[in-house]
Structure 1
Amino acid sequence: MTAPVETLPTGAEMMQHLVESAGAARQPAADMADLAELIRTLLAVHERRDTRIRLGGNLFDVVITSSGLQARGAVALMDEIQGGCGPVIEDPENGWFYWLVPPGSCAQWEPHTHAVCLGAPYTITLPSLNRTLPPGSYWFRPSASDRLVPTGPLREALAQIRPEPTPHAALAAQLGIST
C-alpha cells in the first residue's frame, strides 16, 4: 500500500488563504498593504513571470544608462570592483541598462552627464529570474540575494567610461518630463 502524496500549496495559494482568513471586517495596517503588494510582486518574479514594481521604498532605485559597448565596459569595471557586478537589466528595445542601486539613491544622486537615477514614484518591470537573454528585457547581470550596485563606484565608472548615447532626452520624452 502506498502512502498518499501530499502537495504543498503554492505561494499564491498561501497568500489567498491569508487574505481569506483575515475576514471581511479586518482592516490591515497601512504598511501591511505595502508588504502584501511586495510579497505578491516577489512571488510573481520567483514564479518566472515579469512583474511591475514600484521604485524606492525599501527595495531599490535604478540608474539608467545606454546599453552600448561603452556601458558594457562599465559593467566589466563594476565586475572587478564588486567581485561580480550587482543586478543590471538590459532593455534592448530602448537601448538601456537599468542598474539596481540602493533605495534612496535617487535623493542623493547629483546630475550626471551619462546617467539618470530614478526612484519613487516611478516603476520598473522586472524580467522573470530565468530570463537572461532577449527577446525583451532580461537580466544582463542577474540579481544575487541582497547585492545591489553601489552608486559611488558606479558613478565613477560611468564618468570614466562615458557610455553613449545618454538617456536624458529619450527618458524625459518617455516619462513626459522636461530636461
Structure 2
Amino acid sequence: MDDEPTVLVVDDDRQLADLYAAWLRGEYDVRTAYGGRDGIEAMDDGIDVALVDRLMPRVPGEEVLERIRADDEYDCRVSIVTAVDPDFDIIEMGFDEYLVKPVQRREIEAVVGSLLTRTEYSEKLQELFALASKRAALEAKKSAYELDASESYAELNAKFERLRCDLDRTASEMSTRDLEAEMRRVSVDG
C-alpha cells in the first residue's frame, strides 16, 4: 500500500466517515478519525489528503485545519466536508476545497483526485523552477562553447524539457479552478 496515496477522513459521524472511507478504499490507503482530536492525533507526514468535517464537538474542523497548516511537517491537501454553507469567514481558512453535505460518491472521489493532481503539479512546478534557476546560472557564467560541450548541461536541458511537457500535459488535465488554486498556492508558498 506504500504506493497508494493516503487519505484521512475526519468526521464525528462514524457512519459518514466509514462511508467516505469505503468509497475511497481500493484506490487509496484510507484512515478514519472519529472526531477532531482523533484527527489531529492521526495526522502524520504520510497523509496526502485530509477530508475534514467542519462541525465537530470539542475540537471543530477549523481547529484541525489550523493545526495541520501550523505544523510545517504536514504537507497535505485539505477539503472541508460539512453541512455548513460557505460564508465570508471561509476566506481566512486554509483549506483547498469546500464541499457541502450531502455529498455523493463521485464528488468525494473527484475532490480527492483533484487535490492529488494539484500536489503532483505543485511538486513538478517547484522542480521546474529549480532546474530553470540552475540553467540560468550556468548560462550567465559559461560560454556557448562550454555549454555545448557539457554532457551534464545537455541532460539538464533534456530533463527541463521533459518536465515542462509533463507539466503542460498535467495542466491540460486540470480544471481552470484547479490551476487558479495552484497558482495562488505557489505564489503564497514561494
TM-score (norm 1): 0.23
| Structure ranking higher in helix proportion | 2
| Structure ranking higher in strand proportion | 1
TM-score (norm 2): 0.22
